[in-house]
Amino acid sequence: MHALELGDALTRLGYQATVFAPDATGSGFFRDTLCATSCVAASPAGNDRQATVETWIDDYIRHFEHTENRQFDVWHAQSESSGNALATLKERGLIGGFGFTVHHILGDERLRRLQLRAITSADHLFVVGRVWQDWVARELKRDACYVGNGVDRTRFSPRPDETDSELRTLLTLPVGVPLFLALGGIEWRKNTIQVLRAFKFVQAQNPSARLVIAGGAAIVENEAFKARFAEVFAHSGALASAVILTGPLPQKLMPALYRAATSLVFPSIREGFGLVVLEAMASGTPVVTSRIAPFTEYLDEDDVLWCDPLNAASIAEAMSQSLDATRRHSLIARGMRVAARHDWIETARAHLPIYEKLRTLATAAA
C-alpha cells in the first residue's frame, strides 16, 4: 500500500514512477494506480516465509539482470525480498546504489538476517516511524530519512456511496448494532487473539454487538498463531456467532468497511506506522489503539482511545468507551484533523532529496 501510494504521489508531482512486485498467480496488483506497475514473474513457493522470500529474491535478480529492465535513475526497495535483490545487483555492479525503507524490524530471526542485509547494503535509508529511525541510529549507527505516511482523503471519507450497500449485502452486516472492526486478519502482530478476548467482555454487556475481523492476505500464513486463535475461538461458545471473519476483501470496499464500523480496534503489538489508523480517521471512524510507539508519535492523548495491547480488559474498556455518543463526536472531529495533516504528496516530497542523491549514484555508475 505504501509503495503504491508513494508511486501515485510521485506521478502527481510529475515524476515517472514504476512499482514492481512478484506475481506468482498472474492476478496483478490489487487496485488501479496512477503510477506504472510491473509484475515480476514469480516462481511457485510453499508456505515457509523464508523460502518464499529467497525465491522472490532470485526472481527479482533474474528480471533485473536484463539491461532493458534496468532503465531507471533511482532504485528504492521496501521489502526484504526486493532489498536483497538490489543488494546483489549492486554487488555485481549492475546498479549504482539503492534506497531502502525500514517499515519495522522483523521478529523472525531468519528473516531479520535478510532484512538486515538489505538495510546495511542500502546507500540511503527511509523510515515511516521515529521509533525505527531511533533503532537504526542506535543499533546500526546509520542515519535514516523520516518520511511518515499519508492517507488519500478522496478515497477514504465519511461520504457514503454505492459500495456501502454492496458491502453490507456481501457480509450480511446487521444494521443499528455496534460493529467493531479489526483489520489484518488473524495475525500475531495484529493481536487478534486479544481482540477476540476483549470482544467477549464487550459482548457480555452489549449482546447485539458484532466483531468483524477483515483481511488476512498475508504473504505467508502464520499457521501456529492461526491454530491458537482457532482454539480460543472454538471455546468461545455463543460468542462465535457474533464474529464475522471476512478474509481478504476487494480494495474498493475498504472505505465502506470503515464507515460501517462503530470503531476500528487496532491494538497492534508492532507496527511501522499503522496506516489503517489514518484511513479509519479519514472515514470518520473512531480508533482504539495501543499506547505504544509509533502511535504515540503522531497521535495526541485525545485523538484515539488508548489501550494496553497485552491486556484484554484494557482493550475492552476502550471499545466500550467508543460507544459513548459524546466521546465519539470528539474522536471523529479530532480524527479528521489528524488525517488532514497526513498527505501523500508531502510524504513523496520528503523522499526527493534522497532520491537526488541516489540519482547521482546511478549517473556515476553509468
Over the stretch 213-237, which tens digit does the pLDDT of each residue have?
998 765 555 778 888 888 888 878 7
d(CA 284, CA 265): 14
Q: Which neighbouring-strand residues pair with 40?
A: 22
Q: What is the pLDDT of residue 187?
A: 87
Q: Is the pLDDT of residue 41 over 80?
A: yes
The predicted pLDDT at position 323 comes to 97
**pLDDT for residue 212 is more than 90:** yes
What's the pLDDT at 225? 85
Mean pLDDT of the chain: 93
User: What is the pLDDT at residue 235?
Assistant: 78
Percent of the chain with pLDDT over 90: 79
Question: Is residue 366 predicted with pLDDT exceeding 60?
Answer: no
Sheet of 76-77, strand order: 76-77, 99-102, 124-127, 145-146
Mean pLDDT of 48-63: 91
Per-residue pLDDT, 163: 97
- The CATH H-level superfamily of 162-340 is Glycogen Phosphorylase B; (3.40.50.2000)
Is-contact 260 211, C-beta < 8 A?
A: no
Cite the residue boundaries of each domain of the chain with CATH code 3.40.50.2000. Answer: 2-150+344-365, 162-340
Kindly tell me the burial class for residue 71, based on how many C-beta atoms sit within 10 Å of its own C-beta (0-12, 13-18, 19 or more): exposed
**pLDDT tops 70 at residue 64:** yes
How far CA 312 is from CA of 220, 316, 319, in Å, comes to: 27, 6, 10
For the entire predicted model, the pTM comes to 0.88
Flag whether pLDDT at 5 surpasses 80. yes
| pLDDT of 290 strictly over 90 | yes
Q: pLDDT class for 240, splitting at 50, 70, 90? A: confident
Q: What is the pLDDT of residue 319?
A: 98
- Are 252 and 287 within 8 A, CB to CB? no
- What band does 365 get if pLDDT is binned at 50, 70 and 90? low
The CATH fold of domain 2-150+344-365? Rossmann fold (3.40.50)
Residue 263 pairs in a beta bridge with 180
Q: What distance in Å separates the CA atoms of residue 154 and residue 258, rounded to the nearest whole number? A: 14
Provide mean pLDDT across the span 59-86. Answer: 96
pLDDT band for position 46 (50/70/90)?
A: low
